[in-house]
Amino acid sequence: MSDRATTGLTRRVAVVTGAADGLGREFAAALAAEGALVAGIDVADQSATAERIGGAFLPLTADVSDPAQVTAAMAEVADRFGGLHVVVNNAGVYPPIPFEQTTPDDLRRMLRINVEGPFYVSQAAVPYLRAAGWGRIVNIASAAVFVGPPDLVAYTTSKAAIIGLTRSLATLLGGDGITVNTIAPGLTRTATAERSTGADGGFARVRATQRIPRTGEPADLISTLLYVCDPGSGFLTGQTLNIDGGSALH
């Protein structure tokens, strides 16, 4: 797909993992609204996302922690849309488990999805991004990395690894015209977050730590996502953008 045929994100091809719900659905919809052709990768049903976006959306069922499934999904995206330009590594799990009660299986599941998933997805995407001569990889971490909540030790550990992945990939891929950045959201109101935190209790606790005293909404992240994905942001790479209402200043 020729870059000369596109303006901004129009006709760019994007993959969003974890697109069935929550922030993934919002990210997929935002990219599609900018004219991108979007594929969602998830193990859950993506019919609600497909209904919201329409014909520019390709739902694919794959486990991001399975390299073979990821490789097959990327090949299908490239075959269907003629290339690949943007990857948003959003899929993740968020179980608040007390540190002393975290089992090896709990930890392995979090590392498998939150760390191995972005690793395998990026690995499978890079050949297509290089072939396009232009690319954006956006990893979704968490503002928890900067505040170290005591009830999210395993989760925070997994998301800290994403920042290291971002920095190394940015060094590896900068010469190919591919940028790699991280967005670290604070607690954001989605149905997924509400299920994990229990109504408004978690939101109220987090709001009390913020300089901007309101609950973060998915719309608060969209402008940052579009900024780092934009073709004009080619000099921004290896960075972590913390979007948490000023809870952590760094």
List, by residue number, the catalytic residues. Answer: 155
Going by the DSSP 8-state scheme, the letter that residue 18 receives in this structure is: S
Residues 6+ apart with CB under 8 A from 88: 14, 15, 16, 17, 24, 27, 31, 138, 140, 225, 229
Residues 6+ apart with CB under 8 A from 250: 146, 242
Contact of 74 with 125, CB cutoff 8 Å: yes
Cα-Cα end-to-end distance for the chain: 40
Residue showing tokens 């901004």: 8
- Cα gap 27→33, rounded to integer Å: 10
Beta strands in 62-168 (DSSP E): 86-89, 135-140
Is residue 162 exposed (0-12), middle (13-18) or buried (19+ Cβ within 10 Å)? buried
Give Cα separations from 123 to 64, 115, 161, 246 (angstroms).
11, 12, 16, 33
- Cα gap 114→183, rounded to integer Å: 14
